[in-house]
Chains A and B, each alone.
Chain A
Amino acid sequence: MNSGYDVIIGLEVHVELKTQSKLFCSCSASFGAEPNTHTCPVCLGMPGVLPVLNEEAVAYAVKAALALRCTVHPFSKFDRKQYFYPDLPKAYQISQYDQPLAEYGAVPIIVDGHVVKEVTVRRIHMEEDAGKLNHLGIRLGDAKGSLVDLNRAGVPLIEIVSEPDMRSADEARLYLTELRNVLSYLDISDLRMEEGSMRCDANVSLRPHDYVGSLEDLPRVEIKNVNSIRNVQRGIEYEVARQAELLARGERIVKETRGFDDQNGRTYSQRSKEEANDYRYFPEPDLPPLVLTQEAIERVARSLPPAPTVLREELQQAGVTAKEAEIIVGDRALWEYWREATTHYEDKRQVTNWILSDLSRLLNAHGDTWLTPRVTPAALADLLRLIANGTLSGRMAKEVLDRMYESGATAAQTVEAMGVSQITDHGAIQAVVQQVVADNPHVVQDYLNGKEKALGFLVGQVMKQTKGQAKPDMVNAILKGVIADYAKT
């Protein structure tokens, strides 16, 4: 896309697993409790305590690895990553270094419903989260002190490391979107970037076209801890522009870690990697190696839900367009809504239309998500049935849906309350039509003289008198018949 260099992007994504308890102790792993209430001697790093591996976390991690099409290793081990920081109680993080749980998977990049590329997942490993520091003061520099909250210390994480396969900020966004989408169907994480249950570090470098060395040797900038997919994209865009400018000026790109300021959309230098930590990794002696039988791995594989790719195909076979399928499957709650609605109502095309247009509009207007729709799939199906049996016109149904969304009432209740059921009685419509024709002889004459628009006025009058409840196609037909009779007289 740019002349002179390629953009090389690799992403490291941390996902917090929503297990009952932490990775190595029985403390609750849930988010949002009073500081330091979800702690025990083990996650506080007290002397003499020992870690015991949480089997549920292993099962979740294996699920994620298989869903991302990785090879899960029957033998992996834990290692200690060592550094001093107050949010790290033992001064080492139990992680997996040279023998990770899983390797070599793939995440598709999807554009307009089509897979345009696959990004390789190099590895997935398990590790424990650190605690949180709350600095007293506005900026770290003038903080009077820091409060340590260890509720998060020991919460299970998986780290998903991609190969540097992405070539634009947009691809990075699409990778993250699909990664989150795949994981969302597994029930293993909240995946909320704003709460930190999903976190992303982006490695960005520019490779000049005449560069012949390895990717590893390119000066790489790591953008740390960005809090939304949108901001990952913005951070990369800024970083690509910044590095391109440096290259254009003939300056050197420094290998470093940078933060992202979402106020001004810029990255800023945090620390130079040249003074990087030596983490002194070594095998965790307190934990035996993690051994998984092939049978156990296969058991997890069998329990996996269908992948989004499969779901999208299923939808397309049901008459949903590729673009619509991407939207529906891209939001698990929406997909579940669609699936349930289509079990209540057969015409999948009609269901899809209503969900993606009117119901989506209402959700957006009310700031709701598909997790908490105010019209249930069954209620939507009831409404669609009222259209099909002629009780409601499409336009009336939209109004009814609006009311249903406000009140939470069923379609039938709403129709009754609004008194809006469609008039389909021939005689009743004919009586109104005859009255309208009799009251507007000049308009009728205009129509007979070839002024097509005049008919619209007469239809409007009929609808007005019937409070919009007369069935439109019947009104048209009857009106034309009555005018024809009138002309003969």
Chain B
Amino acid sequence: MRAYDMTATEISQRVHRKEMSATECVREVADRITALEPLVGAFLHLDVQGALNQARAIDALSDDERQQMPLAGVPVAVKDNMTTMDMPTTAASKILEGFMAPYNATVVNRLKAAGAIIVGKTNMDEFAMGSSTEHSAYQLTHNPWDLSRVPGGSSGGSAAAVAARMVPIALGSDTGGSIRQPASYCGVTGLKPSYGRVSRYGLIAYASSLDQIGPLARSVDDVALLYDIIAGYDPLDATSIRAETARVSEGPVDWKGLRVGVPKEYLSADLGGVVAQRLQDVITQLEAQGASVLEVSLPHTAYAIATYYLIAPAEASSNLSRFDGVRYGYRASGADLLEMYENTRAQGFGPEVKRRILLGTHALSAGYYDAYYLKAQKVRTLIRQDFEQAFALVDVILTPTTPDVAFRFGEKSSDPLQMYLSDVYTVTANLAGIPAISTPAGLADGLPVGIQWLGPVMGEDRLLQVARGFEELWPSSTWPGLGGEA
């Protein structure tokens, strides 16, 4: 078995048992990345030499020290909106081209402390704004299952790298579905934790009250492994929660007696036939296992997209103001200060980012604030209450992750509204602050279909247990063949 076929769990076990050195692992993985990257385009920055150096350092440790590292020798890819001192961090924007942060994101420090080896920074939609990774200022990322299709977004690079077996695990960020939607399109598992579970320190903010970092992997166990590393209170993030992260339980899920809610509002006409059919198949299977599947109501679902596309751009318009050309990043020339600002931001930001800055600036403007931003916050509260009421009745909620499977390049990028509407099933978890995981549910015409599981706030433990149970029920048996191998 080649290292790139292994899960993170397998790699760390072998490295712990000295059946494989970290260096061997990284070398094999690096060879595969080098071979496949021209096809996939998952990485904005690769550091094979740096990764090999890190691997040698792991190998040079004592056995005891290595045993303490749950990710000893495990290659990991990090989305390019998390700061790394030894690699550039650009958020796929021209305005941060070549930017070297003088600090690591908290998650990066946690990965390093756990013995993980960061091989590179993955492509994304600029500042995480998008659902296809087509809004990267640098390159397209191709879906490993069908290179003519998008990998989803905004964490498209991380999802594609995991699906293409370039790395076993990767970090993404999720503001309205940016981990789960690409996980679904690429046939991998992706978790958006509860808001406040994972420190946002060093995550370049898109929408601060919605952003959350989470893991992507080819197995639920690997997702749980990575989640355990990154979750936890961080004094550098005032919104991170002071709560012990319950160790993800190993035990099998007991389907009998599990109450699974399916929100009736999610089964609308927008739902593509393939996905609707697969969801029905899943429900049938769960019921066959003894789960009770109940219809629940999330009555404010219809307002979720509108709410999200007011709150997220409003916060983004503020968060992205710091990119002004004064202290770091791209600076255009100008006759005076104002012109320098205007030219820098006109040339440094891409069209989707500008669109959202304009939307958000408008929503916060005097005379519009109450009608837009304030109203959206009120609806947000109602959406959160919808979930609280639903979770009084059921243990988990089952939904599609996306209305359809991965689309072709250019199919939606010309129509922003169409692109926004495809976030319909994912944005609610961010608005409500609850954990959500997308797991693969087989293929349809050769393309992965994902389903989403939602849990109550701080309910990651149970959610992961259910996802693991489902994975056993519905295993992903194949991975995309790339570069000639099966």
Contacts and interface: CB of A to CB of B under 8 A. Distances in A.
Given A48-B105, A50-B201, A282 B238 contact: no
A442 B327 CA distance: 93
Nearest to A148: B326
Contacts of B361: 280
Interface string A288-304: 10000000000000000
Residue of B102, B205, B322 ringed by the most chain A CB atoms within 10 A: B322
Interface in B373-423: 373
B68 to A, nearest CB: 28
Interface of A: 41, 44-53, 80, 82, 84, 86, 89-92, 148, 278, 280-282, 285-288
B238 A51 contact: yes
A196 B288 CA distance: 74
Given A84-B324, A89-B327, A285-B315, A49 B201 contact: yes
B302 interface: no
Nearest to B325: A86
A48 B208 contact: no
A47 B103 contact: no
A47 B83 contact: yes
Contact of A52 (B200, B238, B315, B366): B238
The 8 closest A-B pairs by CB, nearest first: A91-B321, A285-B208, A285-B209, A280-B364, A47-B204, A48-B202, A48-B204, A45-B322
B335 interface: no
A282 B235 CA distance: 24
Interface string B68-107: 0000000000000111000001010000100101110100
B321 A286 contact: no
B318 A92 contact: yes
Contacts of B314: 282
Given A278-B365, A280-B364, A50 B200 contact: yes
B189 to A, nearest CB: 26
B203 interface: yes
Contacts of B327: 44-46, 89, 148
Contacts of B91: 47
B318 A80 contact: yes
Given A282-B314, A285-B209, A48 B321 contact: no
B239 A286 contact: yes
Given A48-B82, A52-B238, A84-B324, A282 B318 contact: yes
**Interface residues of chain B: helix, strand, loop or mixed (majority):** loop
Contact of B238 (A89, A92, A281, A286): A286
Interface of B: 81-83, 89, 91, 96, 99, 101-103, 105, 200-205, 207-209, 235-239, 314-315, 317-318, 321-324, 326-328, 337, 341, 361, 364-366, 369, 373
A288 B238 contact: yes
A430 B369 CA distance: 96
A86 B325 CA distance: 9
A451 to B, nearest CB: 86
Nearest to A45: B322
B324 A46 contact: no
B365 A86 contact: no
Contact of A282 (B202, B204, B373): B373
B322 A41 contact: no
Residue of A49, A52, A80 ringed by the most chain B CB atoms within 10 A: A49
B220 to A, nearest CB: 29
A468 B397 CA distance: 103
Contacts of A148: 326-327
A89 B322 contact: yes
6 contacts: A48-B89, A48-B200, A52-B235, A84-B324, A281-B364, A282-B373
Contact of A48 (B101, B315, B324, B364): B101
Contacts of A53: 238
Given A47-B204, A80-B318, A41 B239 contact: no
B239 A288 contact: yes
A53 B239 CA distance: 11
A439 to B, nearest CB: 89
A90 B366 CA distance: 21
Contact of B365 (A47, A51, A280): A280
Nearest to B240: A50
Contacts of A86: 324, 326, 337
A48 B96 CA distance: 12
Contacts of A92: 318, 321
A52 B204 contact: no
Contact of A91 (B322, B337, B369): B322
Contacts of B99: 47
Nearest to B342: A84
Contacts of A52: 235-238
A44 B101 CA distance: 12
Given A148-B326, A280-B365, A285-B209, A41 B236 contact: no
A46 B201 CA distance: 11
A156 to B, nearest CB: 16
Given A84-B341, A89-B322, A288-B238, A46 B369 contact: no
A148 B325 CA distance: 13
B318 A48 contact: no
A147 to B, nearest CB: 12
Given A49-B103, A84-B321, 14 more contacts: A46-B322, A47-B83, A47-B96, A47-B205, A48-B203, A50-B200, A50-B237, A84-B324, A86-B324, A92-B318, A92-B321, A282-B369, A285-B315, A286-B205
Contacts of A288: 238-239
A56 B461 CA distance: 37
Nearest to B95: A47
Given A51-B238, A52-B235, A46 B328 contact: yes
Contacts of A46: 101-103, 322, 327-328
Nearest to A42: B236
